[in-house]
């Protein structure tokens, strides 16, 4: 829902990401496993002594060779880059999923100067890292490299965030209309029969993939809608 300035939603989140790869002296053949087979939650806690608030998870990550070539070092060139790919068989990966900081400046806005095929304004997404996000990512890189060093990696490779996201926030859940867009049932404060069922309800991304929480909220919401329709309230 846009206001007069074309603003669609604020406090957009997408999870802090990044990855760390380790190269070993013997084949690992990570491509034989599932893309994400395990999760380490040791750092998924609130501990400001680490230099940031919130936490993150490290998930085992197995990417195919074409993805590795694209994501290992975007724009990379030369022997340092190619020697890493030459050791693909000996690689193992960890993906970082962290709680990025909700910021009002991270937002979705309608661009009235560019229209889609239906004549509607296209959305522009504005996102920048908070200083807390940068500190968390640096800590996660350090921990990921330490894990691989401890199990005998001959080389560790922290990589930049991938161009993919868990889109969260902008229609945040709140007790009243002043603080957000939807109530505890995902029902908008302003329009009684309009419900939001995706991750845009989230007030925080936490340090976890969001799918199961989205599903749980949608099932809970469906039960509520059915009950309210049965009472004639919707």
Average pLDDT over residues 30-38: 83
Please check whether residues 92 and 45 belong to one and the same domain. Answer: yes
Whether 64 has a pLDDT exceeding 60, the answer reads yes
CA-to-CA distance for 165 and 100, rounded, in angstroms?
A: 11
DSSP 8-state class, residue 209: -
- Residue 1 lies inside a defined structural domain of this protein: no
Say which of 87, 166, 189, 224 is annotated catalytic. 166
Domain ends where: 165, 180, 214? Answer: 165
Please check whether residues 14 and 72 belong to one and the same domain. Answer: yes
Per-residue pLDDT band at 52 (split at 50, 70, 90) = very high
Whether 5 has a pLDDT exceeding 50, the answer reads no
Please check whether residues 123 and 95 belong to one and the same domain. Answer: yes
Residue 10 host element (H or E): strand 7-13
Please check whether residues 63 and 87 belong to one and the same domain. Answer: yes
| Single pTM value for the model | 0.87
CA-to-CA distance for 70 and 193, rounded, in angstroms?
A: 44
8 close to 107: Cβ distance less than 8 angstroms: yes
Please report the pLDDT score of residue 6 as a whole number. 44
Please say if 166 is a catalytic residue: yes
CA-to-CA distance for 170 and 107, rounded, in angstroms?
A: 7
Number of domains in the chain: 2
Angle (CA) 94 99 102, round 5° = 145
Beta bridge partners of 108: 9, 125
Whether 137 has a pLDDT exceeding 60, the answer reads yes
- Residue 207 C-beta-side C-alpha neighbours within 13 Å: 22
**By percentage, how much of the chain surpasses pLDDT 70?**
96
CA-to-CA distance for 89 and 67, rounded, in angstroms?
A: 14
Task: State which residues form the domain around 219.
Answer: 171-230
Please report the pLDDT score of residue 4 as a whole number. 37
Q: What is the pLDDT of residues 150-169, one digit of tens each?
A: 999 999 999 988 767 899 99
């Amino acid at each position: 829902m846009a206001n007069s300035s074309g603003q669609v939603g604020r406090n957009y989140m997408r999870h802090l990401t990044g990855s760390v790869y380790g190269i070993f002296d013997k084949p690992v053949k990570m491509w034989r496993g599932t893309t994400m087979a395990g999760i380490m939650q040791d750092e998924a806690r609130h501990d400001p002594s680490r230099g940031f608030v919130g936490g993150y998870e490290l998930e085992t990550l197995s990417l195919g060779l074409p993805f590795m070539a694209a994501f290992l070092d975007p724009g990379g060139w030369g022997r340092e880059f190619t020697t890493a790919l030459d050791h693909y068989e000996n690689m193992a990966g960890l993906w970082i999923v962290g709680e990025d900081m909700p910021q009002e400046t991270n937002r979705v806005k309608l661009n009235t100067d560019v229209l889609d095929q239906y004549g509607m304004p296209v959305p522009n997404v504005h996102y920048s890292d908070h200083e807390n996000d940068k500190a968390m990512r640096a800590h996660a890189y350090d921990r990921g490299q330490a894990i691989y060093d401890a199990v005998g990696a001959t080389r560790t490779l922290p990589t930049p965030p991938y161009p993919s996201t868990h889109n969260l926030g902008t229609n945040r859940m709140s007790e009243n209309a002043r603080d957000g867009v939807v109530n505890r049932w995902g029902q908008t404060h302003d329009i009684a029969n309009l419900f939001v069922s995706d991750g845009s309800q989230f007030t925080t991304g936490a340090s976890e993939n969001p799918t199961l929480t989205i599903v749980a909220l949608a099932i809970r919401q469906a039960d509520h809608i059915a009950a309210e329709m049965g009472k004639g309230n919707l």
